[in-house]
Amino acid sequence: MIARRPTGFRQFRAVRSLPRGTRYTSVAGADHRRGLFGTVVAVGLRSRRLVWDYRGKVAVVTGASAGLGRRFALDLASAGAVVIGVARREERLQALVDEMRRHSPESSYRICDLSDAASFVGLLEQVEQELGRIDILANIAGVGGIIRTEPTTAASLRSIMEVNFIAPVAGMLTVLPGMRKRGFGAIANMSSDDGRAPGPGGADYSASKAALSAATESLSYDARPDGVFLHAVYPGWVPTEMGLTSVRDGGLSMPPRAVRRTEEQVSSLVLRRMFDPRLEINVASLPLVAPILRTVAPLTYQRMRATR
């Protein structure tokens, strides 16, 4: 028996549904692995280089004027998506749109300060009304990430939580009903390894990213059965304006090479995994060791983590 290789979400469900002894092959017949184990291996290998069809998809990307947000917006537009870039700096957004429209003539931008979550919600509702839907929401914008020399205050916590947590969650709650009704959609939220392995001096930033990851996971359980996939993205350390500032002026030591990634590496992996059922998108593997070490050797972990 020969099964044609399914695509999209059906690809992942097919692993459990193929009968014993089924040969799993591509339409071209290039893959002739047999049995369930071979099927799992084949799907795993293919998912590493899988590219989804983004042509005509409507995507909203925050933080699009610089860094990871800009890179992701450009890559989505290059893949054929209609991208709405969101940020505060209009001059940079205009330059971004000029580049995006080389591949996606309908792409545009909106100016929005994410410290005002109500404005962001209104923006998303307007996009849905004008374009009929939002297929992809990428919450990339963020603030913080520096080691504070003074204690965290309620005011500093509130300002960071507004941008890093409240606005992204409000955005998710705005677009999820439409995505679930249509049975299609994806949301990628930019988290941080500081959210799951916090160090000293950045309690407000770490708390905001931990909260965002928790909200993303909780909402994903409701959305996934309807064909909508939510992701917490852990990019490692990336030499963006924010990343470089945290090292140059923010007291952070230069991270080891094993956790350094480029904007292109992060964007490429997120594009490949956008409609993958797995919640976390880990661009660097080394930070995954920290939660394990904290569990099996807590005192050693705390001594190591006490310094940056």
Do 62 and 138 touch, CB atoms closer than 8 A? Answer: yes
Do 19 and 1 touch, CB atoms closer than 8 A? Answer: yes
Lowest pLDDT segment from 17-21, 213-217, 251-255, 302-306: 17-21
pLDDT at residue 249 in the model: 64
pLDDT at residue 51 in the model: 65
pLDDT at residue 258 in the model: 82
Q: Is the pLDDT of residue 109 over 90?
A: yes
Lowest pLDDT segment from 13-27, 179-193, 254-268: 13-27
pLDDT at residue 71 in the model: 96
Paired tokens of 56: 């005509």
Considering only residues 116 and 197, tell me which one the structure prediction assigns the higher pLDDT: 116
List Cβ neighbours of 94 (8 Å cut-off, separation of 6 or more): 109
Lowest pLDDT segment from 21-35, 47-61, 167-181, 225-239: 21-35
170 closest CA partner among 217, 124, 129? 124
Q: How confident is residue 156, by pLDDT bands cut at 50, 70 and 90?
A: confident
Considering only residues 62 and 196, tell me which one the structure prediction assigns the higher pLDDT: 62
Q: CA 295, CA 292: separation in Å to the nearest integer?
A: 5
Q: Which runs of consecutive H residues, i.e. helices, occur in the chain?
A: 9-17, 35-49, 67-78, 90-100, 117-131, 154-161, 167-182, 193-196, 203-223, 241-248, 263-273, 289-296, 298-305
Q: How confident is residue 4, by pLDDT bands cut at 50, 70 and 90?
A: very low
Q: How confident is residue 187, by pLDDT bands cut at 50, 70 and 90?
A: very high
CA dihedral (11, 15, 16, 19) positive or negative: positive
Q: Model-level pTM?
A: 0.80
Lowest pLDDT segment from 38-47, 231-240, 299-308: 38-47
Q: CA 68, CA 235: separation in Å to the nearest integer?
A: 9
Q: How confident is residue 27, by pLDDT bands cut at 50, 70 and 90?
A: very low
Q: CA 197, CA 191: separation in Å to the nearest integer?
A: 12
Q: Give, in degrees to the nearest 5, the angle at Cα 299 between 204 and 302.
A: 25
Provide the percentage of residues in the chain whose pLDDT is more than 90. Answer: 59
DSSP states of 127-180 as a string? HHHHHS---EEEE------S--SS---HHHHHHHHIIIIIHHHHHHHHHHHHHH
| Secondary structure class of 229 (helix, strand, coil) | strand
User: Catalytic amino acids?
Assistant: 191, 205, 209
The mean predicted confidence, pLDDT, of the chain is: 83
Lowest pLDDT segment from 24-33, 123-132, 168-177, 180-189: 24-33
Domains in the chain and their CATH numbers? 2-49 (no CATH), 58-305 (3.40.50.720)
